[in-house]
Structure 1
Amino acid sequence: MYMAEFKLRFGDMKWYVRRIIEASSLGEAEKIAERYAEAMNKGEVRWELSYVIEAERPLLVGKEELEKLEA
């Protein structure tokens, strides 16, 4: 499982969105994420791929994640 972070731009505003990517390799996940960003660029909001990482527990904040941050 992989997680992609996208930078969204609308005028002077920008924010970040993360999506789970189903793929068998990092390279495949990056290609899927790039295609996704291109497909989402049909409106006024501009999507840019920031990065893709392998993620075991994406978007979860639990005891394990807090312990890693506090170490």
Structure 2
Amino acid sequence: MFMAEFKLRFGDRKWYVRRIVEASSLEEAEEKAKRYAELMNRGEVEWKLSYVIEAERPLIIGDEELKKLS
């Protein structure tokens, strides 16, 4: 499982969005994430890929994550 982070811009505003990417390799995940950003750029919000990482439990805050931080 992979997670991609995108930087979004709308005028002076910018923020970050993360998406889960279904892929069998990091290279495939990066290609899919780049293509996704290209397709999302059809509107007023500009999408730019920041990075793609392999993630076991992306976007989850659970007991395991809290223990690691303690």
TM range (shorter): over 0.9
| 1:20-52 deviation per Cα after TM superposition (whole angstroms, max 9, x unaligned) | 000000000000000000000000000000000
Is 2:45 the counterpart of 1:58? no
Stretches of structure 1 that go unaligned for 5 or more consecutive residues are none
What does 1:44-55 correspond to in 2, within 5 Å?
Answer: 44-55=44-55
Identical-residue share of aligned pairs (%): 77
> Runs ≥4 in structure 1, deviation > 4 angstroms?
none
RMSD between superposed Cα atoms in Å: 0.6
**TM-score (normalizing by structure 1):** 0.95
1:69 to partner: Cα distance? 1.8
